[in-house]
Amino acid sequence: MNSFDILVDTLKKITTLEPEEEQLFRKAFKSYAIKKNDYFLQATEVNNKLGFLCKGLVRYFVFKNDEEATLEFTKEGEFVADYGSFISKEPSIQNIQALEDCDFLVIDYEELQKLYKVSKNANLLGRIIIEHRFIIMVNQLLTVHRYTPEDRYRYFLQHYNDLTQRIPQYLIASYVGVKPQSLSRIRKRIY
């Protein structure tokens, strides 16, 4: 299955697409690839593209007290962007970095707006995708402020269990908000 088929299949799981709409999406998105450790977006840049991740894994992170703080991970079949920067055209404070070689389909803001105007289901798709991303962001924010590092690790296991072998332990520790040695102690207590 090629990248465009993966995108269309994902969109069709959200809502019905007419055959002509499928063609509109296939034409509007462009192939884009980055290598492991390269950036989809760096802090201070304006996020000018919305990506659909066809292959690979990325992490979102910020600098906190001169250290990297990992906010979340995104895998195949999900959308990638700093939506605040994408919509407002303001510089991002986030970094989005490839943890593996990544293949995306991307669309810029203007092309997305054109899709919204010509496709009867594009607005619905956009709203549902943004709502999904909003829920992820709110849950992430709540875990930072309400949970202990051990609870955050359990949250990680619950929501990213399929990624534990693909993400280095030091990045999982960064996500949990602890040093790698502390994560080792948490893992021993849990197991």
Q: How many CA atoms lie within 13 A of 25 on its CB side?
A: 27
Distances (CA, A) of 64 to 61, 160, 175: 9, 23, 12
At the second CATH level, the architecture of 3-146 is Sandwich (2.60)
Of 68, 99, 72, give the one whose Cα is nearest residue 83. 72
Cα–Cα distance between 54 and 4 in angstroms, integer? 9
Q: Which of the 8 DSSP states describes residue 46? A: B
Q: Give the pLDDT confidence score for residue 51 in this predicted structure.
A: 96
Q: Which of the 8 DSSP states describes residue 179? A: -
Q: Give the pLDDT confidence score for residue 178 in this predicted structure.
A: 93
**pTM (2 decimals)?**
0.91
What does pLDDT average to in each consecutive run of 10 residues of the chain (191 residues)?
92 92 95 98 97 97 90 94 94 97 97 93 91 84 83 90 93 93 91 80
